A = this chain, B = another copy of it.
Amino acid sequence: MKIETKIAKFTKPLYLESGRILEPWQIIYETYGELNEDKSNVILITHALSGSHHAAGKYENDTKPGWWDALIGEGKAIDTNKYFVIATNVIGSCFGSTGPMSHIYPGSEERYRLKFPVVTIKDMIKAQKILLDSLGIKHIKAVIGGSMGGMQALRFGVDYPGFSEYVIPIATTYQTKPYVIAINKSMTEAIRADKEFNNGNYKPGALLKGLSAARMIGYLNYTSPATFEKKFGREYVKTDGMFELFGRFQVESYLEYNGANFPKWFDALSYIYLLKAISLFDISRGFNSLEDAFSAIKDKLYLISFSGDTLFFPQEMREIKKYMDKVDGKCQYYEIDSNYGHDSFLVETQKFDFLINDILKGKLDARF
């Protein structure tokens, strides 16, 4: 599989939903497979909160492949022998696209930090659409993403009707519910409570403990109680004392490890900005009603949710289906049985890869 990593730089301003601009701005992206002659075989992959443009394949010396490697590749559900797959890192993130810590506030020599504008899901896909335009791509086969990536896919369907043949949002919602806003808030506040965060003025590369704590909160909300049971049970770390205050169960040791690693590869300000984007997500913003928003979708909308998702409950995606039915949109809803919680979209790919394969082959369109 041919993998290419590129950075697209734009000098024209990116006009954001907030009324502010990013100028200049850039987006890092990765492609898999080959663009065909008439540029008609493009699939856009949109990533989740801590995801990146590295969706598939392995870099040299890498031990782990991209986050959706199980789905994207030669002969896989998203077949790179057939499709030219583009995965971009969202603006605001920290893997090379313009973000609060990685880039300079124009006209200064300082990083953006808290001067970075709030970006929304709408802004993210606007940036991706500009990238597609710059590549001369006039139409895509599909936009596919899970969680925050699913929000982007849905927004793409609403904002650029007719541009994609298929829109496939997975494990997501149409409007972030207050429960999830509360989870996001507790993560943001865990970061802000750490004095070393210093109101955004932390040292570049600082391993912020507040960000580690936020990661732990995230982990427990994206994983299911059943997964914890299966993976850790009540095993205690053998070298720790049961009655030491900071003695650890295996699950605690894992959270510490996972939490301690996170600040090594993810930036605290990007985390806060992306949480904000998720909390602000409401597909009806800019429309008079949810019906109006959904009636804008002209592409074929395929929804995939997971029974055990306790972050974006299946019920929320069933509501999308109801709205689409109401406005006579083309929509099909699939619910996958899974015990893995919200992260099912990452760890249970074998339960829905065939579905994506069938969708892309048009096998399910007969049902419309």
Contact = CB atoms under 8 A, between A and B. Distances in A.
B220 A179 contact: yes
A147 B194 CA distance: 30
A21 interface: no
Contacts of A194: 193-195, 210
Contacts of A186: 213, 216-217, 220, 255
B189 A229 contact: no
Given A195-B196, A313-B225, A178 B213 contact: no
Interface string A26-52: 000000000000000000000000000
Interface string A227-259: 011011110000000111100011110011001
A229 to B, nearest CB: 6
Nearest to A196: B195
A305 to B, nearest CB: 15
Contacts of A232: 178
Given A186-B255, A190-B213, A252-B182, A245 B273 contact: yes
Contacts of A193: 190, 193-194, 208-210, 212-213
Contacts of A252: 181-182, 185, 279
B189 A213 contact: yes
Nearest to A189: B213
Interface stretch (A12-20, A129-137, A359-367): A12-20
Interface in A256-271: 256, 259
A132 to B, nearest CB: 25
Contacts of A250: 178
B310 A242 contact: no
Given A194-B210, A195-B194, A20 B243 contact: yes
Chain multiplicity (copies): 2
A276 interface: yes
Contact of A249 (B120, B243, B279): B279
B195 A243 contact: no
A182 B175 CA distance: 28
Contact of A216 (B189, B212, B251): B189
Contact of A220 (B183, B231, B249): B183
A160 interface: no
B213 A177 contact: no
Contacts of A279: 249, 252
A100 to B, nearest CB: 9
Interface of A: 17-20, 114, 117-118, 120, 175-179, 181-183, 185-186, 189-190, 192-196, 208-210, 212-213, 216-217, 219-220, 224-225, 228-229, 231-234, 242-245, 249-252, 255-256, 259, 272-273, 276, 279-280, 282, 310, 313
13 contacts: A18-B242, A19-B243, A118-B244, A178-B233, A179-B220, A182-B251, A185-B249, A189-B256, A190-B193, A190-B213, A210-B213, A243-B280, A245-B273
